[in-house]
A and B are shown apart, each in its own frame.
Chain A
Amino acid sequence: MKGLSFDLAHLLAGGLVLVSFMLLYQNRLYSLLNVFALQAVVLALSVAWQAYVQGAPHLYVTAAIAIVFKAMVIPIALHRIIARLGIHREVEIVGSLGPTMIAGMGLVALSMVVMLRVTADADPLAREDLAFALSVVMLGLLMMVTRRNAVSQVVGFMSLENGLILAATGAKGMPLVVEISVAFSVLVAFIVIGVFLFRIRERFDTVDVQALDQFQGGRR
């Protein structure tokens, strides 16, 4: 049983990393959103599994949040925005894909190395989980860095949050405070982003962050 639980958790966490790579690979906004939804599903699965393994029912809540918000609400809403702004055709990757993927590999390797320095007596499940979570976080950051427009940056940010949730759930017995705060933060983050998109919409015809950057407040 122990072995199985470990393997499954391992599998799901690894799957999350894999999906992050897929995210990194997308260069169409719609497909990006779909992959993000997929990631949310995988996350929900792994959280649920953790809940089962740890016998921590409250984790099912987190899983539910992941399914509902990340897998459905947010992708749909972003779909709407993209449709309304008519930017679905944009190819907006900085540089080409190859180097980005290689960088992603490097990041995963790095996070593995860093996490595995942790003394082995901390239970292995947590270690592996944390290693994967760290990789997801790093990949999310990499995505934010390598994407030009606001929507995909938001997606990158949220995949980063997924990594956080993975870590939080992997941390056995972590008080509820954290999940609530995470959910809350994601919620608020999304609202605020939405607010800003609309405000930006008032001012510009695109949410391309570069349009924002063009101001740079004049020579100040």
Chain B
Amino acid sequence: MNAFVPDGVALILAIPAATAAILALTPGYRLSARLNVLSAFLTLMAALSLFVRKPETGPYILVDDLNIVFIVLNTFVAFTTSVFSASYIAHELEIGRLTPVQLRFYHAMYQLLLFGMNLALVANNIGLMWVAIEMATLTTVLMVGVYRTPEAIEAAWKYFILGSVGIALALFGTILVYMAARPVVGEGLDGMVWTVLIAHVAAFDPAQLNLAFVFLMLGYGTKVGLAPLHAWLPDAHAEGPTPISAVLSGLLLNVALYAVLRFKLLLDGNSGAIAPGPLMAILGLVSLVFAAFMLYRRRDIKRMFAYSSIEHMGIIAFAFGIGGPLANFAGLLHMIMHSLTKSAIFFTVGHISQVKGTQKIADIRGLTVTHPMLGWGLVIGVFAIAGLPPFGMFMSEFLVVSSTFARAPWLAIPLVGGLLVAFGALLLRLHGMAFGEPSGDVAPVKASSLPIAAHFGLVLMAGIWLPPPLVAWFQHVASLLR
């Protein structure tokens, strides 16, 4: 119809792709950083435009109530992260950890990553979704290794090997889904279009679907970072540039989780297939408890928060796994809150490690004395991530724990235990870092605390007041997820 206004989906895909190409050719990091921010902002705008005008569903593109939440969240965090990255990268260049060439590479890759993630989110074709996630993974692999220190390369290598095995498994699962669909929907493109699949899934062969889900769960679960498939995650977070850690925790894990959810819906639709819920719930609990104990022995601040990401992915997977309107609502809310909070924490941690010149927890003390902004920011972040009021995660954890205990008390015991153990670990480290006699450099930090403030502001607001339309939205999606 109105061909003048370009389609929002086209924009959120085209802008990052184009910018990536441009950035690859732009020398001078100031300009490229600005371009980065600008394009991220434009993408965000385009994503918001999806609210007003949804594109009609095609064989490749789908924008429905489920993924629009992910898209907007994705573009928003990508934008704030690009703002943070601008100030972060400048400092890295000063101290010479990165060369201009690497920076050019870095910025191009950043946009490519956004492109990949957006593509994965809007894809209506499970094959396309697989390709996109694949691409996103490869770009992050390259960015994790960008410092080229032995640790960084090891982390990237580990990430790459485990990631590509996961990818292979996911592909096999995708093929199996197609095989299951073929007898029903016939050969050709339709066999991979999600909307078609979900329409006919009831008639699929359950055994094949089960097999497919096992591979998909393991394949995409590796990306989600669920234990025991998590091994790449802590090192990739710890050794890469902090903006990438923020994007990994805040976005990529969500995208992978989104893929898992799509296929969970598929299996839920088939009465003969095994229920995917228990598998997700069990993997989630395992990740939660495991990560909670792993938190205690961490020496590196970024690695610690990476483990906390595993923990929270476990909680989210658990929530979606047990299902039901309350738990699904909580899962969605928790996912969004975790993205915002965790990325904000990584912003803070990035500044902290820059002013203190170290990532070792033991060398960071008395932050609230020397850098009140960063110190209290860290305190707020840890409280928000630990699910304390008045922050949004309190609401989601409240719903998850209470509804679980009312429905399946024996599941609530490990859940609560894991939450408490993790809480103890985080607070133990927080006391050491934020309070006590200060240590290390007391030079004032020169960085914009705007992204941090924005994220925490949103998280705080969500904890106190959720806008009714948003709530209605969530409840609708929760009912979709069953």
> Does A121 make an interface contact (CB < 8 A)?
yes
Q: Which residues in A have their C-beta under 8 angstroms from that of B299?
A: 218-220
The interface stretch among B38-46, B140-148, B274-282, B377-385 is B140-148
Question: Within A170-199, which residues are at the interface with B (CB < 8 Å)?
Answer: 171-175, 177-178, 181-182, 184-185, 188-189, 192-193, 196, 199
Question: Within A104-135, which residues are at the interface with B (CB < 8 Å)?
Answer: 114-115, 117-119, 121-122, 126, 130, 133-134
Knowing A157-B164, A199-B145, A203-B150, the reply to whether A174 touches B178 (Cβ < 8 A) is yes
Q: Which residue of B lies closest to A203 (CB)?
A: B150
Q: Which residues in B have their C-beta under 8 angstroms from that of A218?
A: 299
> Does B134 make an interface contact (CB < 8 A)?
yes
Q: B157 near A220 (CB under 8 angstroms)?
A: no
> Does A64 make an interface contact (CB < 8 A)?
no
Knowing A119-B205, A173-B182, A215-B151, the reply to whether A114 touches B211 (Cβ < 8 A) is yes
Knowing A118-B208, A177-B192, A220-B300, the reply to whether A172 touches B168 (Cβ < 8 A) is no
Of A122, A164, A174, A219, chain B has the most CB atoms within 10 Å of the CB of: A174
A175–B191 Cα distance when bound, in Å, is: 8
> Does A141 make an interface contact (CB < 8 A)?
yes
Knowing A119-B205, A164-B175, A220-B300, the reply to whether A177 touches B125 (Cβ < 8 A) is yes
Q: B175 contacts which of A115, A157, A167, A185 (Cβ < 8 Å)? A: A167
Question: Within A195-220, which residues are at the interface with B (CB < 8 Å)?
Answer: 196, 199-200, 203, 209, 212-213, 215-220
Q: A122 contacts which of B127, B130, B141, B208 (Cβ < 8 Å)? A: B208
> Does B437 make an interface contact (CB < 8 A)?
no
B-contact 0/1 string along A132-154, CB 8 Å cutoff: 01100100010010000000010
Q: Which residues in B have their C-beta under 8 angstroms from that of A182?
A: 171
Knowing A185-B134, A199-B145, the reply to whether A215 touches B150 (Cβ < 8 A) is yes
Q: B172 near A167 (CB under 8 angstroms)?
A: yes
> Does B156 make an interface contact (CB < 8 A)?
yes
Q: Which residues in A have their C-beta under 8 angstroms from that of B154?
A: 212-213, 215-217
Q: Which residue of A lies closest to B192 (CB)?
A: A175
> Does A160 make an interface contact (CB < 8 A)?
yes
Instruction: Output the least CB separation between B241 and chain A (Å).
Output: 16
Q: B150 near A181 (CB under 8 angstroms)?
A: no
Q: B172 near A172 (CB under 8 angstroms)?
A: no
A157–B168 Cα distance when bound, in Å, is: 9
A188–B139 Cα distance when bound, in Å, is: 11
Q: A153 near B161 (CB under 8 angstroms)?
A: yes
Q: A192 near B141 (CB under 8 angstroms)?
A: yes
Interface size class on chain A is 35 or more
A159–B374 Cα distance when bound, in Å, is: 50
Q: Which residue of B lies closest to A54 (CB)?
A: B187
A-contact 0/1 string along B150-185, CB 8 Å cutoff: 110111111011001101100110111011001100
Q: Which residues in A have their C-beta under 8 angstroms from that of B158?
A: 212
Knowing A196-B153, A217-B154, the reply to whether A171 touches B179 (Cβ < 8 A) is yes
Q: B138 near A172 (CB under 8 angstroms)?
A: no
Q: A122 near B188 (CB under 8 angstroms)?
A: no
Q: B175 near A171 (CB under 8 angstroms)?
A: yes
> Does A168 make an interface contact (CB < 8 A)?
yes
Q: A217 near B238 (CB under 8 angstroms)?
A: yes
Instruction: Output the least CB separation between A177 and chain B (Å).
Output: 4
Chain A residues touching B, majority SS: helix
> Does B235 make an interface contact (CB < 8 A)?
yes
A193–B165 Cα distance when bound, in Å, is: 13
Q: Which residue of A lies closest to B209 (CB)?
A: A118
Instruction: Output the least CB separation between B18 and chain A (Å).
Output: 21
Q: Which residue of B lies closest to A56 (CB)?
A: B187
Instruction: Output the least CB separation between A47 and chain B (Å).
Output: 14
A153–B164 Cα distance when bound, in Å, is: 12
Instruction: Output the least CB separation between B178 and chain A (Å).
Output: 6
Q: B205 near A164 (CB under 8 angstroms)?
A: no
> Does B355 make an interface contact (CB < 8 A)?
no
Q: B303 near A171 (CB under 8 angstroms)?
A: no
Q: Which residues in B have their C-beta under 8 angstroms from that of A196?
A: 145, 153, 156-157, 160
A219–B299 Cα distance when bound, in Å, is: 7
Q: Which residues in B have their C-beta under 8 angstroms from that of A203?
A: 150, 153
> Does B207 make an interface contact (CB < 8 A)?
yes
Q: Which residues in A have their C-beta under 8 angstroms from that of B182?
A: 122, 171-173
> Does B48 make an interface contact (CB < 8 A)?
no
A189–B157 Cα distance when bound, in Å, is: 12
Q: A192 near B153 (CB under 8 angstroms)?
A: no
A174–B154 Cα distance when bound, in Å, is: 37
Q: A192 near B127 (CB under 8 angstroms)?
A: no
Knowing A181-B127, A220-B298, the reply to whether A161 touches B179 (Cβ < 8 A) is no
> Does B15 make an interface contact (CB < 8 A)?
no
Q: B168 near A164 (CB under 8 angstroms)?
A: yes
Knowing A119-B205, A196-B157, the reply to whether A181 touches B179 (Cβ < 8 A) is no
Q: A184 near B151 (CB under 8 angstroms)?
A: no
A-contact 0/1 string along B110-132, CB 8 Å cutoff: 00000000000000010110110
Q: Which residues in A have their C-beta under 8 angstroms from that of B130?
A: 181
A209–B47 Cα distance when bound, in Å, is: 43
Jot down 16 A-B pairs with beta carbons below 8 A, ordered by A. A115-B211, A121-B183, A122-B183, A122-B205, A164-B171, A164-B172, A167-B175, A172-B182, A173-B182, A174-B175, A185-B167, A185-B171, A199-B153, A203-B153, A215-B151, A217-B155
- Top 5 A-B pairs ranked by shortest CB distance? A173-B187, A177-B127, A220-B300, A181-B131, A212-B154
- The interface of chain B, by Cβ under 8 A from chain A, is 125, 127-128, 130-131, 134, 138, 141-142, 145, 148, 150-151, 153-158, 160-161, 164-165, 167-168, 171-172, 174-176, 178-179, 182-183, 187-189, 191-192, 205, 207-208, 211, 235, 238-239, 298-300, 303
